[in-house]
Structure 1
C-alpha cells in the first residue's frame, strides 16, 4: 500500500463516523470484459470486509442475456474473502449471504416481480390489498436489505439497479472506471460516507 493509501486508511480509521456495514457495488458486463476486472472485484471485496463491512451486494448489468451463464460461472469462482452466492437473471431464490451477486436483474424487473407476487396473493384471498405495507413488498424482493453505501464507477447513474433498496442509501459516484478502481478510491468512498449525516428521508 502506497503512502497516500496509508494516509487515507489512517483517516478512515480515525474518523469517528460509522463505517458502512452493507456495501453495494454496481458494475456492468462491459466492466468485466476489461483485463484485470475480476481481480479488481476480488480486491474490492477484501477491502470492504477489511473496513468493517459485514455484507456486500454486487449488481452486474448485462446487455446480452446469453452472456449471463458464463458470467455467473466466472463470478462463482472468484477468490473472495467470504462465500459468494451468484444469481442469474431468472433466478428467484432469496439470497442471504455475506457476498451476493446478481446478474442482469434490473430494479424495475425486480419490483415488478414483487408486485406481481403480492397481486397473486390478493387474488387467492391470502392478503388484504388495503393491508399491504412496505415490509410486504420487501419480503418479495430477492435482495431485501437496504445497503448503507452504494458505489457506482464510471458514471453518475444507477443503471436501473437497486431502485427500492437504495432509497435511503448513501450514493457514491466516481468517474474512475472499474478497471482503474484502486484501494484509494474505495477508501475515499468510505471516508465520504463516514463524513455524511444520514437522514433516511427526513
Structure 2
C-alpha cells in the first residue's frame, strides 16, 4: 500500500511538472457535469472542493458546474436544489475564500452570489441549456415587443448577452459516463470533450491533472 501511494504521489508530481513546463496554456474555463448523488454526501462535496482548488492551482480562471437533479417529483427536486445550494455556499465561503461564485436554482434564478478576484465558479442546480436558451429568446422577444430592441438587432451576440453563463468552456468533463447532458448547449458547441468512466467519488488529483495535460496536447479545431 505504501509503495502504491508513493507511486501515485510521484506520478502526480510528474504530471504537474509536465503541465507547468508545457508551452501550451491550461484551459481557462472548465465545465463539469455531475449528478446530485455525486455531491450529496460529504465525500462527494469534498471531492468537488478539492477539484476546484486543483484547477485554481493550475491557472484555470473559471469553472462551470452542472448538477443534474434526476428526481422527477418537483417538490423533491426543489428541496434538493435548496439543500445543495446552501451547502455549496457555505463551503465556498469556508474553503474558497476570495473565490467569486454564482449559484443558480431550478428556474435559473440566482440563489447566491459573491464577487471574486482571479477565480470564479458558476453552479447550475438542474437548470439546463435548453431552458437557458428558451429564457434568453423570450427575454429578447419581450424587448422587441416593448420597443427596446429592433428586430434587425437580433443576432448571435445579442442572444449570448442574455445567457446566464457568457463564457465558452475550453473543455467539458463528464465522469462516470459517455453522454453529455443538457448544459451550456450554446456555449459548448466548440468545447473539447473529456469522458472518464471513473465515478466522481473516485476521482483523484491525478485524474484532474490528466484532463489538463490531455487538453494541452490537443489541437483545437473550433468546428473546422
Q: Is the 8 A contact 1:76 1:85 kept in 2?
A: no
Tell whether 2:88 aligns with 1:72. Answer: no
Tell whether 2:91 aligns with 1:84. Answer: no
TM-score, normalised via structure 2 length: 0.83
Larger radius of gyration, structure 1 or 2?
2
Q: Is the 8 A contact 1:153 1:176 kept in 2?
A: yes
Instruction: Select 1:184's aligned residue among 206, 216, 222.
Output: 206
Number of corresponding residues: 202
CA distance in 2: counterparts of 1:71 and 1:15, whole angstroms: 37
Q: 1 or 2, which has the higher helix percentage?
A: 2
Shift of 1:83: 3.4
Instruction: Select 1:14's aligned residue among 18, 21, 34.
Output: 21
Which residue of the partner structure matches residue 156 of structure 1?
178
Where 2:87 maps in the other structure, the secondary structure is helix
Shift of 1:34: 4.5
CA distance in 1: counterparts of 2:141 and 2:211, whole angstroms: 39
Shift of 1:148: 1.2
Return 5+ residue gaps in structure 1 as ranges. Answer: none
Cα deviation digits, residues 6-54 of structure 1 (max 9, x gap): 1111121222212111111111102113550010011000010111111
CA distance in 2: counterparts of 1:89 and 1:65, whole angstroms: 7
Shift of 1:144: 1.2
Return 5+ residue gaps in structure 2 as ranges. Answer: 1-7, 71-76
